[in-house]
Structure 1
Amino acid sequence: MLEGKIVHSTSDSYGTILVVDYPRYRVLSFDSIYEQSGFYLEKPYAVVHEYIRIMLLVLGFTEPRHATLLGLGGGSLLRSLHHYLDHCDFHVVELRSKVYDIARDYFDIPDDQRVWVSIEDAGLQIQSSKNASTDIIFADLYDAYHMSPLQVQKQFAQECSRTLTRNGWLVMNFHRLPDTHSAFFIALTEHFSTLLVCSGEFGNHILFACKSHSVNYDQVPAKLKNMEAILDETFMPLFHRLKPVAI
């Protein structure tokens, strides 16, 4: 990491957790060269990292009433979603209780009746979830250096499909896209009718999977322009990088 001031340090059975302040923003780090989350102190709902902005592109296609976030980190995605979506409820699943404590104490995550946080393994939670109980599942499951193996398991794709509503979306953050011949990817094509990908400038690849055949692209520009106005961010150039997955 670049030079910064450590304002909080703790650890649990999974490792060290640091909160580091820089002149413009605050960072959550799991004691590695990577930033798990970023936070502008003067503008809490703004997005520091590009891959979060890419994940938000899904809101150009759908207006969720319920969203599930697998992995909290410093709450960047949750803060932006909560600020933009006035009538959406959120279920956040975070494995590490100390990560949740830090997100609450240092990263100003929303805490109201629309947000429900479970301290639980994401795989177990998604297995126990009710059928058709959420409109979007965001999967961003990482430790200090690696993505959770759960995100490339065949059963994970199946359980997410079961949990999503009829036109639901699964949005996943990958450092490397899964092989299109893998059991996981084959399961995706069996359970999801639309697969899109947007690659970031810093190595992240966001995979969007929708259960519906009929995805309305015409509505996206207007929705993203509205989101740009509310979040004071830029989304349209990212949308133009979105493309179907080559199978």
Structure 2
Amino acid sequence: MSEYQCLWQGEDQYGPISVVEDNDYRLLAFGDNDEQSKQLKVAPHIPQHTYIQAMLLSLLFIKPKSAIVLGLGGGALLHSLKHYDPAMKLTAVELRPQVIELAKRYFRVQPSKKLQLIEADAMAFLAEANHKRCDVIYADIYTDAGIDKQQLSQQFIDHAINLLKADGILVLNCWKEHSRDVELLARLQASFVEVYACLTSGSNWVIFAAKQAGTLRDHDLKSAIDDLSCRLDYSVSRSLSRFGPWL
């Protein structure tokens, strides 16, 4: 990232953290050549990573009044959700206090009546079940070494189900290699009625698991796609072309 100017650099017990920028973008990184979060400075609500764009496809199938985001990063997903619906109640859970401080200082993430930032381990937060049930849970728990394996466990799935409303959706950001994880697929199919997925051009495998039948069916989505593209400020159709049942 030599072409970027370093705004902040440090380390916590989990590893290095840095914030860098150029004229257009600001990045949060957890290691060399890592883009944990990327923000377009003039329009923070427009997601720059394809996995965030894919996760937002959930808005085609549900109009959430509340959502839980596990893994804060630079708050890219939060900015998009707030832009989509400023009235949505959002809770972001982040393990690393330094990441929370950097998100507030450099990435315009500010707690409010509609946005709660919680410093906690995601699994412990779900297990405590002190939060009201929500419409969507977005899980994007990563370190510099890759995905947090807790995010793929049966225990995690069970806890997530308990915090979702009857028609809720769990959205998991994984890697392409997880598209071949038959055990993960079996766990999700045993716990949810529908399981869909989307392969991104960045090699992420984004999973959508719905508690209610018919939630994720891709019937006549044209008007919904046009409306969502307008509300999010970018075209969602490219991500949708790779969306379908995970079989």
TM-score for both structures, normalised by structure 1: 0.94
**Runs of 4+ in structure 1 over 6 Å off:** none
Which residue number in structure 2 is paired with residue 135 of structure 1? 135
Higher mean displacement: 4-13 or 93-102: 4-13
For structure 2, the 5+ residue unaligned runs are: none
Which residue number in structure 1 is paired with residue 96 of structure 2? 96
For 1:65, the aligned partner's letter is K
Distance in 1 (alpha carbons) for counterparts of 2:105 and 2:220: 38
State the 1:203 CA deviation. Answer: 1.0
Q: Is the 8 A contact 1:71 1:93 kept in 2?
A: yes
Which residue number in structure 2 is paired with residue 231 of structure 1? 232
Which residue number in structure 2 is paired with residue 208 of structure 1? 208
SS in structure 1 opposite 2:16?
strand
Query: What is the number of residues matched between the two proteins?
Result: 245
TM-score for both structures, normalised by structure 2: 0.94
Q: Is the 8 A contact 2:137 2:169 kept in 1?
A: yes
Distance in 2 (alpha carbons) for counterparts of 1:51 and 1:236: 14
Q: Is the 8 A contact 1:79 1:110 kept in 2?
A: no
Distance in 1 (alpha carbons) for counterparts of 2:63 and 2:236: 16
Q: Deviations over 1:141-189 (max 9, x none)?
A: 000121101111111111111111111000011113165432x432211
Distance in 2 (alpha carbons) for counterparts of 1:241 and 1:38: 23
Q: Deviations over 1:42-99 (max 9, x none)?
A: 1121111111011000000001111000000000000110111133101110000100
Q: Is the 8 A contact 1:47 1:53 kept in 2?
A: yes
Q: Is the 8 A contact 1:221 1:236 kept in 2?
A: no
For structure 1, the 5+ residue unaligned runs are: none
For 2:14, the aligned partner's letter is Y
Residue 31, structure 1, aligned to residue 42, structure 2: no
Q: Is the 8 A contact 2:141 2:151 kept in 1?
A: yes
Which residue number in structure 2 is paired with residue 243 of structure 1? 244
Which residue number in structure 2 is paired with residue 161 of structure 1? 161
Which residue number in structure 1 is paired with residue 6 of structure 2? 6
TM-align CA RMSD: 1.7
Distance in 1 (alpha carbons) for counterparts of 2:2 and 2:223: 38
State the 1:222 CA deviation. Answer: 2.2
**Identical positions, percent:** 29
Distance in 2 (alpha carbons) for counterparts of 1:66 and 1:88: 5
Which residue number in structure 2 is paired with residue 149 of structure 1? 149
